[in-house]
Amino acid sequence: MPMEANSTADVMVVPISRRSLHEELAARLRDMIVEGALPAGRKVSERELCERFGVSRTPLREALKVLASEGLINLNQNRGATVAALTRADLEEVFPIMGALEALSGSLACARMSDAEIEAVAKLHDQMVESFKAGDRPTYFKLNQAIHRAILIGSGNETLFATHQMLAGRIHRARYMANDDSDRWRAAIEEHEHILAALQDRDGPRLAVILSDHLRNKLASVMRHFSEE
């Protein structure tokens, strides 16, 4: 089943030539899924994606395996790959766990991040605010995720980071979807102001609460989206 034109055919993409080819492919496909270019239930056309990115089937299939491990792709031996559906059950199960992990990462990061690392987060935050003002959701989302990732790395806990990454794919789309609501998007920016302030103050308990509430508010927004559908 070929993909619709707006999913693969009408956007010019420079072929990938990096060494970690399947990882780069996974990143690009992940963005397409998160941003809705590859919607839930869509059958993945290996031929069209190979042509789009200028790669062979081997690295593409490795990339699909990575996305399958994250819960973004379903692999079926007879039917090929399809984009996994996002369900209420998934969100209700994973969001509280992610909230707890991010709360712990914030608490640890306040104690362990260097001043330079916190300043780097502040710069990402400023860029994210500019993207919000410009209404650039894809760039905003990437910067938003970079901030959360920096805090996770700043926790200095490899097990925490690996556990978070294992679950993150299942809610990337939901976090992106939450910003469809302009009021929620504005509220998210305000919450990020508080996140940055708590990190700069190195107030671990306060940052833990803010990060947990931040995830809870996103879940509520996504659930409203499901109800409207």
pLDDT number for residue 1: 38
pLDDT tens for the chain, 229 residues: list them. 334 434 333 433 444 444 588 889 988 998 888 888 888 888 999 999 999 999 999 999 999 998 988 888 999 877 789 998 888 888 888 999 999 999 999 999 999 999 999 999 999 999 999 999 999 988 999 999 999 999 999 999 999 999 998 888 777 777 777 767 788 889 999 999 999 999 999 999 999 999 999 999 988 888 887 666 5
Per DSSP, the residues of 88-110 read HHHHHHHHHHHHHHHHHHHHHHH
Which residue segment(s) compose the domain that 65 sits in?
Answer: 5-83
Residues 183 and 104 grouped into a single domain:
yes
Residues 40 and 137 grouped into a single domain:
no
Last residue of a domain, one of 53, 83, 113: 83
Q: At residue 35, what are phi and psi to the nearest 5 degrees?
A: -85, 0
Last residue of a domain, one of 49, 83, 117: 83
Last residue of a domain, one of 58, 83, 108: 83
How many structural domains comprise the chain? Answer: 2
pLDDT number for residue 220: 87
Residues 142 and 209 grouped into a single domain:
yes
What distance in Å separates the CA atoms of residue 42 and residue 4, rounded to the nearest whole number?
10
Residue 196 CB: number of other CB atoms within 10 A? 20
Residues 217 and 120 grouped into a single domain:
yes
Beta bridge partners of 76: 80
Burial class from Cβ neighbours inside 10 Å (0-12, 13-18, 19+) for residue 19 reads exposed
Amino acid residing at 32: M
Residues 140 and 224 grouped into a single domain:
yes
Residues 198 and 167 grouped into a single domain:
yes
Residues 43 and 119 grouped into a single domain:
no
Residues 105 and 162 grouped into a single domain:
yes
Residues 28 and 105 grouped into a single domain:
no
> Cβ contacts of residue 171 below 8 Å, gap of 6+?
90, 91, 94, 95, 98
pTM for the structure as a whole? 0.76
Using DSSP, state whether 73 is helix, strand or coil.
strand
pLDDT number for residue 4: 41
Q: What angle do CA 1, 15, 82 make, to 5 degrees?
A: 25
